[in-house]
């Protein structure tokens, strides 16, 4: 999966590829869909949500440019697959999930079963971010807001990077970089994510 669907399509970051080799996507799927785990497709995980296709997970993680000392905010825990890959790469992952059942399931898998000690999961709206733990070196958003929430750009550290799909029906994957002069945005490929919802 990693060699044919991710590396072959241009993802080159060795640390990202190694993390994706280590984290088994099948663990994050319902039993009825485990046979599809290594296909390059988004798949349903319940509660009207999906696990992203492996290529998009690899691409977004590479765009984020994770470093070992980073504190990362993830908006949209979902299945926990992206969370686990980040936890292999950075100092600490702070993950927000608005759907309590998904947060509970991800916590049981990632913390209780897989024994990750460098992540925290909270049930909350991603639109507000996680102010008590800000600023974050990196922010990754795995659902699509119509515009980038102000709270997230405010909680991004100077020198930080945010990867977020933006738009309603038509979405673009965006890289936002913050420095002392403000924000710079670069749009990448068209994507389709579930909408980012609020309470």
Domain containing 85: what range?
Answer: 56-191
| Stretch 20-47: mean pLDDT | 95
pLDDT value at residue 64: 98
In total, how many domains does the chain have? 1
Q: Is residue 41 part of a domain?
A: no
Say what the alpha-carbon torsion angle 137, 79, 174, 132 is, to the nearest 10 degrees: -30
Q: Is residue 44 part of a domain?
A: no
Return mean pLDDT, the chain.
96
The rounded distance, in Å, linking the Cα atoms of 145 and 168 is 7
Catalytic residue list contains 52: yes
Q: Which of 52, 79, 158, 188 is catalytic?
A: 52
| Stretch 63-83: mean pLDDT | 97
CATH code assigned at 112 = 3.40.50.150
Q: What pLDDT digit, counting tens, does each position of 112-133 carry?
A: 999 999 999 999 999 999 999 9
Q: Is residue 149 part of a domain?
A: yes
pLDDT value at residue 162: 98
Q: How many CB atoms lie within 10 A of CB 21?
A: 14
Q: Is residue 13 part of a domain?
A: no
pTM (predicted TM-score): 0.95
């Amino acid at each position: 999966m990693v060699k044919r669907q991710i590396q072959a399509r241009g993802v080159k970051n060795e640390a990202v590829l190694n993390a994706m080799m280590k984290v088994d996507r099948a663990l994050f799927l319902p039993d009825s869909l485990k046979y599809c785990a290594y296909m390059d497709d988004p798949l349903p995980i319940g509660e009207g949500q999906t696990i992203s296709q492996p290529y998009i997970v690899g691409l977004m993680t590479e765009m984020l440019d994770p470093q070992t000392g980073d504190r990362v905010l993830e908006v949209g825990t979902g299945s926990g697959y992206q969370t686990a890959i980040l936890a292999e790469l950075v100092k600490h992952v702070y993950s927000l999930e608005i759907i309590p059942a998904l947060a509970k399931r991800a916590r049981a898998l990632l913390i209780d079963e897989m024994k990750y000690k460098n992540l925290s999961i909270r049930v909350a709206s991603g639109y507000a971010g996680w102010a008590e733990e800000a600023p974050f070196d990196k922010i990754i958003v795995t659902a699509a807001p119509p515009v980038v929430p102000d709270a997230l750009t405010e909680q991004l550290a100077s020198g930080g990077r945010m990867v977020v799909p933006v738009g309603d029906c038509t979405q673009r994957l965006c890289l936002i970089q913050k420095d002392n002069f403000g924000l710079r945005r670069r749009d990448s490929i068209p994507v389709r994510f579930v909408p980012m919802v609020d309470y």
